[in-house]
Structure 1
């Protein structure tokens, strides 16, 4: 059996804040909503679970300590520069921090980065 991603789970410090960011701010649709846990649909097929940070660490059997770059970023690929700019504005309006403003690259692309309220990085980019 080949491995596939069904749901991406993020350990967050404040589930209500993360839910507001991803659902109200970025337009996700709630699939499950329990105290300390929310799962929402993002776009056409991606699901994101938001779980209390300490509970997520306990669930995995690891320490809840950790900070800084987590070695992962999420990528949202759009069809145009205008869509990149729109997504960046929407995220910032929802409470994201723009980490790297959208700009053209020397290879012809266009992208920027924002971080969600828990510091998870999102790259918004054109397809090519």
Structure 2
């Protein structure tokens, strides 16, 4: 199998809350919105995030008892600490719960965390050692801000 991910799909018990938070609250534009079933957003070149109604998600997997996200964090890297704080503030205003306000991170950057209304945890970070080459290759370094 090729080392590649094009779609990250997360089960949610409240697709309407997800839509309200991401579309109305944060201003994200859906790639596809099927009410009562699934909502897709492009989150990077060639990468989409799908938020799938939990019942439909379980049906699609031909199983039962599938719950929402656990032990999963999506990260969003920004150009500086001020941008991190502004993003955390915008998320809180849109309905997120701040789990960790912006602060110096153990990895040498600056970060904070929020939980969206469906339980998905986001890390909002600045790491000056993070970069993406012209060919899309990610570089991660541990560098002070």
TM-score range, shorter chain: 0.7 to 0.9
SS of the residue corresponding to residue 57 of structure 1 reads: helix
Q: CA deviation at 1:3?
A: 3.7
1:39 counterpart residue number: 40
Q: CA deviation at 1:17?
A: 1.3
Q: CA deviation at 1:26?
A: 2.0
The gaps in structure 1 that reach 5 residues or longer are none
Could you tell me whether the CA contact under 8 Å between 2:113 and 2:124 is conserved in 1?
yes
Change (3 A) 1:101 1:32: same
* Matches for 1:52-91 after TM superposition, within 5 Å: 52-66=53-67, 70-91=70-91
Give TM-score scaled by structure 2 length: 0.76
State the superposition RMSD in angstroms: 2.1
2:14 counterpart residue number: 14
The gaps in structure 2 that reach 5 residues or longer are 129-145
Could you tell me whether the CA contact under 8 Å between 1:25 and 1:93 is conserved in 2?
yes
Instruction: For residues 23-58 of structure 1, give each alpha carbon's deviation from its aligned partner in whole angstroms, at most 9, with x where no partner exists.
Output: 222231111121222212236554221211121122
Give TM-score scaled by structure 1 length: 0.85
SS of the residue corresponding to residue 89 of structure 1 reads: helix
What is the total number of aligned residue pairs between the two structures? 127
Q: Greater Rg, structure 1 or structure 2?
A: 2
Could you tell me whether the CA contact under 8 Å between 1:28 and 1:42 is conserved in 2?
no
Structure 1 segments, 4+ long, off by >4 Å, are none
